[in-house]
Amino acid sequence: MAFFVARRLLYLVPVLIAVSLLTFSIASLLPGDLAYTILGDQATPENVAALRADMGLDQPIWWRYLSWLGGVLQGDFGRSFRTGQTVLQAVGERLPVSIELMLLAQLGALGIGVPLAIICAARSGGPFDRFMTGTAFGMLSVPTFLSAILLIYFFAVELRWLPATGYVPFGEDPAANLRFMVLPALTLALAEWPSIMRVLRSDMIATLQEDYISLAKAKGLKASRILFVHALKPSSLTLVTITGINIGRLIGGAVIVETVFALPGIGRLLIGAILTRDLIILQGVVLLVGAGFVIMNFIVDLLYAVLDPRIRHGHA
Amino acid sequence: MATLELDVAEEAVSQPARKGRRLGILFWAAIGWMIFVFAVAVFAPVLPLPSPTDMDMLDRRAPFSAEHWLGTDGLGRDELSRLVYGARISLVVGLCAPIIGLTLGGALGMLAGYFRGRFESMVVGSMDVLLAFPPLILALAVTAYLGQSIFNLTLILGLLGVPAFMRVARAATLTLARREFVIAAQALGATHARILLRELLPNVILPLFAFFLLGVAVTIVVEGSLSFLGLGVPPPISSWGSMIGEGRESLDVAPRLAFMPAAAMFLTVLAFNLVGDTLRALTDPRQGAL
Amino acid sequence: MTGNSLLSVEDVTVNLPTPRGNLRAVDHVDLTVGAGRTLGVVGESGCGKTMLSRAILQLLPKKAKLSGRVMFDGQDLLKLSPEKLRQLRGRSLAVVFQDPMTSLNPVLTIGTQLIETLQEHLELDDAAATRRSVELLAAVGIPAPEQRLAQYPHQLSGGMRQRVAIAIALSCEPKLLIADEPTTALDVTIQAQILDLLAREQRRRHMAMIIITHDLGVVAGRTDEVAVMYAGRVVERAPTPDLFKKMRMPYTEALLAALPRLDAAPHTPLPAISGRPPDPTRPLRGCSFSPRCRYALARCQAEKPALEAAETSAHTFACFHPIETRADANA
């Protein structure tokens, strides 16, 4: 197990370096001069030259990368030239919102997808299975922003059950916080459950053909135990994989959902930074999101080992 | 065990056959819808439609009428015309971007799968880095620096698709390169170029094409998302995504302004997914073997 | 059928719909097993012996159609409610499958898989169930049983896994154990050990046992009675000593001849049974074995022979031209 973790950790380092390189290249190699962008209308050649010197833009590119990376490693991601906030402050303020959103969304997606997958697998080929498989396929073609609009229309505009936009911190008023979170989380969950359900269903159907399921039946175990312990546990590897793959889509979806529902999360910070050309914040957020994504995938890999004793003991 | 083998084989044999029969109507309906949207988009300029950008501030959010079949939007522009022109944008981006992905990714994947070795690890490694970012974030960041234009958007979405196409092409090439006909061609002294183009490409292109259709669906969604956020195609060009984004402002008074482009987009994405998925199932070597 | 039998399979037929047509896997089979007795079911792969065992266990594939009667311990298994059936399985009717690599759940520990069976059927608390599990593992010859409980199947060798599977089957003192090719997937060196273990536990626990195998050598000396199956039908059935002394059915003879023999000269070619079993989706009008039988005559192709009694009523066979001589008496 320790060896497994160490090997994975070792692989993490080059990937993180590559992520930082890519982030830096997007910001520095693409056409357009940062100093002009920042100064906008007030850009005179003198102002630009002064700012360039101030920001180190006149240094060679590799030097800029190294000094930027050096800063990042010491926790200095830079400071917004619009608000004066550091990247870490800005991200720190908004991260809890995004994390809450994604946790709720993932819970919702698993809550819808896993039971449906189990029922469909247990009754595969039946009318319910066919109906749900079709529904899931159709839902895969509904973009996040579409379900957001539909949910707002029905629950906020027509029924007026839930607020369309807004946010209250969880610490201030948990009930109100959850009321604001329901629709955004549901939007993301609606986008994620079909893939969970489809993959888990086909995996469960394959698992239910296994000899050990026949033996479990021959042992006289209850159907619930066969489904949830004997069949779901071997299939949960797939579940972890698909959940891991979905994280990337979830982060992208969170950007849209946070914008539509006006939640002050990382996604809105990113969109705001793009709209105000706040490039330091943008660079910092992209780097942190990329690194976070890589680390999430690393954790997913570790979960594999926890779930599958064969991997844990080094049998491939 | 004899029983289990029987059971599985039976399942695997009967399933695609039944699916094929039942998806028949849906499959052709999807093809029909794709042709319809495509034709409308191509012939938009010769269709008797009002200009999609002519504003009529006196006739905002007008209901359906003989003059404006699907009414007008928040700026008094003809909704039907905007839908049709929106289809052009969604299709141009949706088709061109995966073509970039298909060409680059397909070529890289085939070369990696055929030559293996250090070249393969380099290709796979650099693709892994691209995949290390959530795609929408990367698209957003790059458009922010490059500036909004249809060309930039297509280019970025195309490049983002390269890793996925590369994987499909490489996987297909890896299995095919060990088959007898390739080994036979090598034994006959065929050049690498000839083997790649004449022996492998015709076989790799099928799964790639199925994947291409799925890529179109994904690209239309991503383009829609970016335009919905106001970061895709620049105004006054309308795409379905930006129309839905604008319609969001008037959900309470005229929800149809969001729902009509939404329906168009959903049906188109569904059609590409359906056709792509059916073709993928047909070209999947695991099922084809049965 | 005899009143005191533990299991009686009466006129059981199993049909499987396949894309190529209906497959009759089991064709009007009658069998009985008395309490504490052992029955060997022998036949080539695909002869329907595994389907027969699945039919007894009521573990047939969903699409399979089963007709006939399976009486077990005074109850008709086909008419039992799913809940009653569940309580019966693992409790008084247990099974050991062919391949211990696939019949144990790879992600659950040995202990979990043993204890869950015990606790499902016997009212044992965790400590008692654990104690009982250790006893069972020791009884089937697994060294250091306490440590095995926390291990996963992949950490054990094939033979050890099959011992675990046997321990699971024995755990609730079943009245009948069905061992479906219990040694086919194992190393030759392990096979005899597992078979002897099964025979020993069968005698010790006075349980009835059905051994399903393709190997006549396996049933010789370990069973009270043997039924030979071919193409879904029982073609010969006899008390074990009678069968080996006086086999009547040419197929049985061919099966026995196909066994490698220790006393044969080196490099003797094995007399394999020529041809292949008939396509079960295209049943023959006559005797199913006739295309491969060296004694076959015109009548064999036209009519199906019924099971009829030989010298004793316990010995039955289905053949128009049975072997009359004492074939292979030294087997």
Give tens-digit pLDDT for A254-296.
888 988 888 888 888 888 888 877 778 888 888 888 888 888 8
Tokens of A52: 């360039």
Query: How would residue A311 be classed by pLDDT, with cut points 50, 70 and 90?
Result: low
User: Domain containing C70: what range?
Assistant: 2-105+174-223
Separation between Cα atoms, residue A282 and residue A271, nearest integer Å: 9
What domain count does chain A have? 2
Residue A194 and residue A63 share a domain: no
- Residue in chain B closest to C99 (alpha carbons) equals B1
Separation between Cα atoms, residue C167 and residue A94, nearest integer Å: 57
Report yes or no on C324 lying in a domain: no
Report yes or no on C274 lying in a domain: no
Report yes or no on A174 lying in a domain: yes
Nearest to C19 among B1, B3, B10 (CB): B10
The residue behind tokens 């015709």 is B202
Three-state SS at B77? coil
A12-25 mean pLDDT: 83
Residue A94 and residue A35 share a domain: no
Q: Does B274 touch chain A (CB under 8 A)?
A: yes
Q: Does B121 touch chain C (CB under 8 A)?
A: no
Of the candidate ranges B13-22, B45-54, B85-94, C70-79, the one whose mean pLDDT is the lowest: B13-22
Using the predicted structure, report yes or no on whether residue B27 has a pLDDT greater than 80.
yes
Nearest to B3 among C19, C61, C99 (CB): C61
- Smallest Cα distance from A173 to chain B, Å: 28
Report yes or no on A30 lying in a domain: yes
pLDDT recorded at residue A254: 86
Instruction: List the beta bridge partners of residue C8.
Output: C32, C71
Separation between Cα atoms, residue B3 and residue C61, nearest integer Å: 8
Average pLDDT, chain B: 78
Question: What residues of C are in contact with residue B6 (Cβ under 8 Å)?
Answer: 16, 18, 23, 25, 61
pLDDT recorded at residue A31: 58
Separation between Cα atoms, residue A117 and residue A227, nearest integer Å: 11
Average pLDDT, chain A: 82
User: Domain containing B253: what range?
Assistant: 79-283
Of the candidate ranges A305-309, B2-6, B242-246, the one whose mean pLDDT is the lowest: B2-6
A143 with B274: Cβ contact below 8 A: no
Separation between Cα atoms, residue C35 and residue C93, nearest integer Å: 12
Report yes or no on B57 lying in a domain: no
Question: What residues of B are in contact with residue A273 (Cβ under 8 Å)?
Answer: 144
Instruction: List the beta bridge partners of residue C18.
Output: C21
CATH number at residue B257: 1.10.3720.10
Q: Are B65 and B71 in contact (CB under 8 A)?
A: yes
Q: Does C214 touch chain B (CB under 8 A)?
A: no
Residue C269 — left, alpha, or beta (φ > 0 → left; ψ -120 to 50 → alpha)? beta
Tokens of C99: 């391949």
Report yes or no on B117 lying in a domain: yes
Residue A110 and residue A52 share a domain: no
For residues A137 and C282, the model is more confident at A137
Report yes or no on A80 lying in a domain: no
Using the predicted structure, report yes or no on whether residue A310 has a pLDDT greater than 70.
no
C54 with B7: Cβ contact below 8 A: no
Residue C173 — left, alpha, or beta (φ > 0 → left; ψ -120 to 50 → alpha)? left
Residue A147 and residue A64 share a domain: no
Question: What residues of B are in contact with residue C25 (Cβ under 8 Å)?
Answer: 6
Residue A100 and residue A46 share a domain: no
- Smallest Cα distance from A191 to chain C, Å: 30
Q: Are C9 and C56 in contact (CB under 8 A)?
A: yes
What domain count does chain C have? 1
Question: What residues of C are in contact with residue B287 (Cβ under 8 Å)?
Answer: none
pLDDT recorded at residue C330: 43
Nearest alpha carbon to residue C215 among C178, C172, C261: C261
CATH number at residue C194: 3.40.50.300
Residue A236 and residue A173 share a domain: yes
DSSP-H helix ranges across chain A: 2-29, 34-39, 45-55, 61-73, 87-122, 127-139, 144-151, 174-208, 211-218, 223-225, 232-260, 266-275, 279-307, 309-312
Residue A187 and residue A47 share a domain: no
Q: Encode burial over A27-49: b for 16+ CB neighbours within 10 A, e otherwise.
A: beeeeeebbeebbeeeeeeeebe
Using the predicted structure, report yes or no on whether residue A140 has a pLDDT greater than 90.
no
For residues B44 and A36, the model is more confident at B44
CATH number at residue A139: 1.10.3720.10
Nearest alpha carbon to residue C61 among A204, B9, A127: B9
pLDDT digit string, tens, across residues B212-233:
998 899 899 888 888 888 887 7
A30 with B247: Cβ contact below 8 A: no
Nearest alpha carbon to residue B217 among B127, B286, B280: B280
Query: How would residue A41 be classed by pLDDT, with cut points 50, 70 and 90?
Result: low
Q: Please, is B116 exposed, middle or buried when counting C-beta atoms within 10 Å of its C-beta (0-12, 13-18, 19+)? A: middle
Residue A306 and residue A282 share a domain: yes
Q: Are B79 and B260 in contact (CB under 8 A)?
A: yes
C63 with B10: Cβ contact below 8 A: yes
User: Domain containing A139: what range?
Assistant: 88-312
pLDDT recorded at residue B2: 31
Pairing between β-strand C38-42 and β-strand C225-230 as defined by DSSP bridges: parallel
Residue A160 and residue A29 share a domain: no
Q: Does B10 touch chain A (CB under 8 A)?
A: no
Report yes or no on C20 lying in a domain: yes
For residues B56 and C76, the model is more confident at C76
Pairing between β-strand C208-213 and β-strand C176-180 as defined by DSSP bridges: parallel
- Smallest Cα distance from A134 to chain C, Å: 23
Task: Tell me the mean pLDDT per 10 residues along chain C, length 331.
Answer: 74 86 86 90 84 88 87 89 90 89 89 92 90 91 90 89 91 91 83 88 90 87 89 87 82 79 67 73 79 80 79 80 57 39
Provide ipTM, 2 decimals. 0.83
- Residue in chain B closest to A31 (alpha carbons) equals B146
**pTM of the prediction?**
0.79
For residues B132 and A192, the model is more confident at A192
- Residue in chain B closest to A267 (alpha carbons) equals B137
Separation between Cα atoms, residue B112 and residue B122, nearest integer Å: 9
For residues B25 and C325, the model is more confident at B25
Report yes or no on B20 lying in a domain: no
What domain count does chain B have? 1
